[in-house]
Structure 1
């Protein structure tokens, strides 16, 4: 595997036969969650997103800007020193305006942020379900002009009624959200009566 950054900031991923596998404006690199001495390279920002990642074995050697590296520690260190992971190596002036980010910064409630994340999501498969088809997580990637942000939702169900949502917690870049937990209330016959947002989980 070869990783090269061009003068314009683009990060080029090639195999050992010099075939281009990807041209990325930015990238994230993580230790592989299952395979030792290997890494995942992706644009999703998720350390467990194997489906949308390049899997690289460091044992065979990784060429970083032409220099061969054969160990994980050396690779991470060299990337940190030699690659601009956000792709800002170019000499063009940065744009100071970012309308979507400006809107994002004004959002303070759970529902508005959730709808905004769905509208501007860049993940191919943001909804994750378990083997029974229940939603367990939603993972949204927001790629704006000046920044990349993530919004994650984790679903929790009642142990005595495993198909009823107990609450959903929101994580990621949400420091502006006042109440990041959405709690579900049920009435007679297990009919959903209302939801409310809270800062921490209490039942």
Structure 2
């Protein structure tokens, strides 16, 4: 299977209580453009929403720059940026309650910070990674990396604006530095070439809206 045969994830939509405030925050903090969309929430959510959003960057300086921008714009630090055996990263919670992890596999800087995001990844916390992996394969996704019952990373087209992974919900919450408990809808919709459906853990997928003629 070549890259052009792989699925594409165009964007992620977050349901938020105040779209104008959220737009100001995300523009100031991350500047993700069309990859991140916002809409008014129809029902409230409390606690962990079951997923995290990850920004993968080139070097520690970019992690610090993006974390700093998020905190200055009103985010709360969950895990301060620090070194680990995997690289360097930190986690913040946006004012709308969504959890963002900014990380790099590099441990040293190679130049000044640019705040360029190499990859935007949505990690879905699921009850059964194996069952969810099978579900997504049946819906057209190809597995890129798989680490048993803990984690799956799907292969998407090289030009795909958003990447997708599955993580056990409790493990994902622990990695983010939050309690796994939460109530209400996920408040997340993923738009891509897979079409419209709801997965095993009630995550919503939407088909792209055709451009007006």
> Normalising TM by the smaller chain, what interval?
under 0.3
Structure number with the bigger relative contact order (C-alpha 8 A, sep ≥ 6) is 2
TM-score where L is the length of structure 1: 0.27
Which of structures 1 and 2 has the bigger CA Rg?
Answer: 1
